[in-house]
Chain A
């Protein structure tokens, strides 16, 4: 009998003991809310901006997709960033962002996973970036959170190792709360990819409970909501 089967046998024997308070699990029904409708979008965006600010995120507003490249360049200049790592968009095309940054004479880290003898691994090149740009798969208004799915073209390190991180999300992917966001994402990305829910910059309170940002991950986290016609 394998160790696993032995464990299962022990657990089964243990479960035969009577328990006083066990009740069948009644999973709370998901309070399914429809994708943010136009009328609700502004309300959710406002709640998101408030919560994102509360966790020391910096919300740069709602902008039309075609204005995002200029906003990215503006942010890079403000931060005096020289090396920028740009992931692939989820719903948005990020090529214009890359071109705009390159046109501004900034170095853009290519998301090229092919091994080259001279180049260090991609994860090390991402770690050298001053700023990274990614698109979130979903955002959560009640907590000011992003759900970012790591893919080959948009690795998980992008939201982890650069000093600052700009996350762009489409306003119609903004959900009221955690339960609705998880339901909307569905199980597939969780099984196939690395998913991170991110709520503000990296932080610690390990020294006398005083909050310090940027202990391991990005020190600054920026957000732009994308919506046509803005």
Chain B
């Protein structure tokens, strides 16, 4: 399996992300707005949960009989006039697409936003083959001009401010500097429209592939996916094997939940249905249509009873916006095509050991599971992957500080088995740490405990004695943080 576009170095990159206050402000701003829209959108749609359940059942069914549905999809796409190619890995997919582009003698390739083509690193391969590749989703266009990778599944330029983009366009497009989004968007529209009308090949991803009719559904807001699949003479769609759903009537359940969770809309501006190339009398549409169905590690995920659930993912991006880790470090820190919680699951399985650290990039708070439109239990899968990674990798791969923190936790866990000792030590610690306490929190701790606060984490101040009712026996406890009892020493529940 190829290492793909992912590589290690998460810890270093995440440290840089945490230290970048400007990046955090941009991320908080953008993800905060998204979550407000999503909350409003969910609140006004009472059937949201029942639609989630229906969509989940359809995915379970589809993935459970993927072999049968893939055969049906392929047969129907071919009957509609499309050429279907099955790629076992990224290399096979790239080679096929390059051949199609070369056969078409294409000089210019336009791309709709597609994470799957990012996954297979298509752009460099096409450029090596002599084609000009232009990303046409505005966010993708922006990051392509900067020579970067998207930092979010849905909002590729989430890490940039309008001022950043204004400077970029002034530099690369030669327009006068402005931070006005309308003017910037208009400049991109004019430039990209010329490119669309002269493009030879269009490449997009696929959101859903309907086996029953051999139809691809592309979901978007901008219209660049429609243009990429309508104007060029050759159209290539790239999809993972997990995108297949059984019937046309299944689609409405996904459409009802996808935009509501991904962008906070009721429905995206465009849902495009493409089943084959243009007919003889048609004025537009591609003359040749190719569908690349990509495995690239997905069948291995299918074989794992816990991981299989990750194949239900709709790539809505909501788990990124809600993730406390992503919101602090941004997508580039993950150094993978797929960042955030779902990326931490998918990347190690698609890119191998290069992304092995990512399942550890989570607090396991469960917010991703709660917001997921198909209820993927992401924390459970992350734990599964941690266990899997732990079984084959020695802990020495982790930095010394991390190892120390881990050892401290292990010591605490051992001590917690002896409530009296723990109470005594807690009292002692409360006295020793009192000088470090401020506003009820410890932001700096001495000795081994300093490993906890070293990276900007705080800890609730300890109290030697808790406030008690008259006559009740006082007992020491760890203040506030453990009020829900989840992490309280077992002796205190008596």
Interface residues of A (CB under 8 A from B): 2-4, 6-8, 10-15, 17-28, 30, 51, 55, 111, 113, 121-124, 126-127, 142-143, 145, 150-152, 155-157, 160-161, 177-179, 182-183, 187, 190-192, 194-210, 212, 214-217
Contact = CB atoms under 8 A, between A and B. Distances in A.
Nearest to A142: B266
Interface residues of B, number: 101
Given A191-B213, A216-B189, A207 B88 contact: no
A200 to B, nearest CB: 5
Given A202-B269, A217-B223, A22 B60 contact: yes
B14 to A, nearest CB: 23
A11 B70 contact: yes
B88 A14 contact: no
B181 interface: yes
B235 to A, nearest CB: 11
A123 B165 contact: no
Interface stretch (B26-34, B120-128, B418-426): B26-34
A38 B160 CA distance: 51
A203 to B, nearest CB: 5
Contacts of A199: 265-270
B184 interface: yes
Contacts of A190: 210, 213, 215, 248, 273, 275
B86 interface: yes
A197 B270 contact: yes
Interface of B: 26, 29-30, 33-34, 50, 54, 57-58, 60-62, 64-67, 70-71, 74, 76, 80, 84-88, 92, 136-139, 142, 155-157, 161-162, 165, 181-182, 184-186, 188-189, 192-193, 196-197, 210, 212-215, 221-224, 226-227, 230-231, 241, 246-253, 255-256, 263, 265-275, 279, 281-285, 293, 295, 299-300, 302-305, 308-309
A3 B96 CA distance: 12
A123 B227 CA distance: 11
A143 B87 contact: no
Contacts of B57: 23, 25-27
B281 A15 contact: no
B181 A216 contact: no
Given A7-B86, A22-B64, A190-B213, A207 B302 contact: no
A122 B283 contact: yes
A145 B267 contact: yes
A156 B246 contact: no
Contacts, number: 255
A114 to B, nearest CB: 10
A27 B212 contact: no
B285 A194 contact: yes
A201 B70 CA distance: 35
19 contacts: A4-B84, A7-B86, A7-B88, A11-B66, A11-B70, A13-B303, A14-B303, A22-B60, A27-B249, A113-B283, A123-B231, A156-B285, A196-B271, A199-B265, A199-B266, A202-B223, A210-B162, A210-B181, A216-B227
Contact of B273 (A155, A183, A196, A203): A196
B231 A157 contact: yes
Contacts of B251: 182
Given A6-B88, A177-B252, A190-B275, 19 more contacts: A4-B84, A7-B293, A8-B67, A12-B67, A15-B66, A23-B60, A28-B50, A55-B265, A113-B283, A150-B285, A157-B284, A192-B275, A192-B279, A196-B272, A198-B269, A206-B139, A207-B138, A214-B189, A216-B193
Contacts of B165: 207
Nearest to A26: B57
Contacts of B67: 8, 11-12, 15
A190 B218 CA distance: 13
Contacts of B66: 11, 15
A119 to B, nearest CB: 12
A201 B213 CA distance: 28
Contacts of A8: 67, 70-71
Given A22-B64, A194-B274, A207 B157 contact: yes
A155 B309 CA distance: 40
A10 B303 CA distance: 9
A28 B223 contact: no
